[in-house]
């Protein structure tokens, strides 16, 4: 049984085809520059070199048609016919309060996603376009929605209600929702495995750090607070998003320079964050290189991001009362020792001690690593996320009628003996070049 997962952004469409019985990725890739011209697909079949094909995709329908074409291509493909695809799982960023878990997409669900589009204007509209296009091209299979917000539906009201007129919540659903749920679910479950603990007796602070950034407090295996809010704009410093700041600044600048709400929304979401600070960089690798060359604003961006992240970690440790582990994940969290180090600097009084040497070595997306220092009361893990696997498992479980909220459902990756075969193979190759990685690979108790 082959399962296709799709993650459609405003100008991209990521995909993965997974063979369920063999627990194996067949192919994955991304179509870039959708709707804006110069479109191309980078298509990767496991065990082969990636293939890049240029083809104009003025809408998401053409992008998904190109994905299907590549999956069934006589030379580049991995399946003979689309009939081998038995279901499609779609990422949907905002599910509002209605959805506490993944769902089969019907007309009612689609209508709700459209009603919620204003809550995630950068994400839900392309998510919807992708679903509509895929349903046209693959009309004979069920389509499922995996919501970023579902993981956070366990937050208590005192964590998600803002100190604003209460009727705004009652009438307009203004509240904290949180995002990056599939990633945060995955690393929370994996952290429990690495700790050798019951997931529902485990407290962790997770840091999903990529272009978007989420911090997450998990008490007894469920989300109780998170840094992103009503939209993905709130919270930590991000690639292009401002994160937390005085809202009066926005009103002041709008009045002073006659900036419209739409223009301000663009500034806050696309021209702020580390891009706003440095004036030119969003990729943390570029920022770190520039900082090393002496670029003062790049150095400042690193210090600001580290400081703000450290405050979130400290705040969430206080909120939890007891913390078993701190987990870093996503592109920057997995690959930037500098950012991780800055965020944990000075937390020794909280019982958090990072091993600088292990942290410097931990630079892989193929293995879970333990960078805990001697005497630390809190474990520190780097766990490569796997949102696509969560999407695939939810899709299969919905298809088979055995799915439920995560508190009543067990994922395959919760098994201590679970192995991601592709990552394991790639890690072996990495160790040949960097043997020191082997000694920081996280050990699973009892195995």
Task: Mark whether 369 and 221 lie in a shared domain.
Answer: yes
- Does the residue 153 lie in any domain? no
Q: In which residue are the tokens 């191309």 written?
A: 40
- Does the residue 352 lie in any domain? yes
Confirm whether 148 is a catalytic residue. Answer: yes
* CA distance readout (Å), 324 to 80, 357, 379: 48, 22, 6
Examine the fold and report which residue of 121, 147, 173 is the final residue of a domain before the chain moves on. Answer: 147
Mapped onto helix, strand or coil, the DSSP state of residue 430 is helix
Task: Mark whether 118 and 209 lie in a shared domain.
Answer: no
Task: Phi first, then psi: give them for residue 387, nearest 5 degrees.
Answer: -60, -35
Examine the fold and report which residue of 147, 168, 189 is the final residue of a domain before the chain moves on. Answer: 147
- Does the residue 442 lie in any domain? no
Do the Cβ atoms of 308 and 243 come closer than 8 Å? yes
Whichever domain contains 244, its CATH number is 3.30.420.40
Task: Mark whether 249 and 360 lie in a shared domain.
Answer: yes
Per-residue pLDDT at 381: 98
Q: In which residue are the tokens 């091993």 written?
A: 355
- Does the residue 394 lie in any domain? no
Do the Cβ atoms of 434 and 369 come closer than 8 Å? no
Residues 6 or more apart in contact with residue 22 via CB below 8 angstroms: none
- Does the residue 430 lie in any domain? no
Task: Mark whether 355 and 213 lie in a shared domain.
Answer: yes
Choosing from 2, 49, 148, 225, the catalytic residue is 148
- Does the residue 435 lie in any domain? no
Task: Mark whether 307 and 222 lie in a shared domain.
Answer: yes
CA distance 76 to 96: 39
The residues facing 330 across adjacent strands are none
Q: How many domains does the chain have?
A: 2
- Does the residue 346 lie in any domain? yes
- Does the residue 64 lie in any domain? yes
Nearest one of 160, 150, 133, 144 to 35, comparing CA atoms: 133
Per-residue pLDDT at 403: 92
Examine the fold and report which residue of 129, 147, 165 is the final residue of a domain before the chain moves on. Answer: 147
User: Per-residue b/e over 29-45, b at no fewer than 16 CB within 10 Å?
Assistant: bbbbebbeeebbbebbb
Domain that includes residue 214, residue range: 197-384
pTM of the model: 0.93
What's the angle, vertex CA 193, arms to CA 152 and CA 312, rounded to 5? Answer: 45
pLDDT in tens, the chain (447 residues): 999 999 887 778 889 999 999 888 999 999 988 888 889 999 998 778 889 999 999 988 899 999 999 999 999 899 998 999 999 999 888 877 888 899 999 988 888 888 877 777 667 787 888 898 899 889 999 999 998 899 999 999 999 999 999 999 999 889 999 999 999 999 999 999 999 999 999 999 999 999 899 999 999 999 999 999 998 899 999 999 999 999 999 999 999 999 999 999 999 999 999 999 999 998 999 999 999 999 999 999 999 999 999 999 999 999 999 999 999 999 899 999 999 999 999 999 999 999 999 999 999 999 999 999 999 999 999 999 999 999 999 999 999 999 999 999 999 999 999 998 888 888 998 999 999 999 999 999 988
Task: Mark whether 133 and 252 lie in a shared domain.
Answer: no
């Amino acid at each position: 049984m082959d399962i296709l997962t799709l993650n459609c952004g405003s100008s991209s469409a990521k995909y993965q085809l997974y063979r369920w019985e063999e627990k194996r990725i067949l192919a994955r890739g991304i179509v870039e520059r959708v709707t804006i011209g110069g479109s191309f697909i980078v298509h990767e079949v496991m065990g082969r070199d990636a293939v890049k094909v240029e083809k104009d995709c003025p809408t998401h329908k053409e992008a998904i048609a190109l994905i299907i074409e590549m999956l069934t291509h006589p030379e580049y493909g991995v399946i003979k016919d689309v009939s081998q695809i038995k279901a499609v799982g779609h990422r949907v960023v905002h599910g509002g309060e209605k959805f506490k878990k993944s769902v089969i997409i019907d007309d009612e669900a689609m209508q709700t996603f459209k009603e919620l589009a204003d809550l995630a204007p950068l994400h839900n509209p392309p998510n919807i376009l992708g679903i509509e296009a895929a349903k046209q091209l693959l009309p004979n299979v069920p389509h499922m929605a995996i919501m970023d917000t579902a993981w956070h539906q366990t937050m208590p009201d005192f964590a998600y209600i803002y100190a604003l007129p209460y009727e705004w919540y009652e009438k307009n659903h203004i509240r904290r929702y949180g995002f990056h749920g599939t990633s945060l679910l995955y690393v929370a479950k994996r952290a429990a495995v690495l700790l050798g603990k019951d997931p529902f007796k485990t407290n962790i602070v997770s840091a999903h750090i990529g272009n978007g950034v989420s911090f997450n407090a998990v008490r007894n295996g469920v989300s109780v607070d998170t840094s992103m809010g009503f939209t993905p704009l709130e919270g930590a410093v991000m690639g292009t998003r401002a994160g937390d700041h005085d809202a009066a600044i926005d009103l002041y600048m709008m009045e002073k320079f006659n900036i419209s709400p739409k223009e301000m929304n663009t500034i806050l979401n696309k021209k702020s964050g580390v891009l706003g600070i440095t004036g030119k960089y969003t990729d943390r690798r570029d920022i770190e290189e520039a900082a090393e060359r002496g670029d003062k604003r790049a150095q400042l961006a690193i210090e600001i991001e580290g400081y703000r992240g450290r405050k979130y970690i400290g705040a969430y440790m206080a909120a939890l009362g007891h913390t078993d582990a701190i987990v870093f994940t996503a592109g920057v969290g997995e690959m930037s020792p500098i950012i991780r180090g800055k965020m944990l600097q000075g937390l020794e009084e909280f019982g958090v001690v990072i091993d600088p040497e292990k942290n410097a070595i931990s630079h892989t997306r193929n293995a879970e690593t333990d960078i805990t220092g001697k005497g630390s009361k809190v474990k520190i893990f780097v766990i490569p996320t796997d949102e696509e696997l969560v999407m695939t498992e939810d899709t299969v479980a919905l298809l088979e009628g055995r799915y439920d909220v995560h508190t009543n459902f067990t994922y395959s990756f919760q098994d201590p003996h679970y192995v991601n075969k592709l990552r394991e193979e790639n890690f072996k190759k990495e160790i040949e070049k960097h043997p020191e990685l082997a000694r920081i690979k996280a050990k699973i108790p009892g195995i």
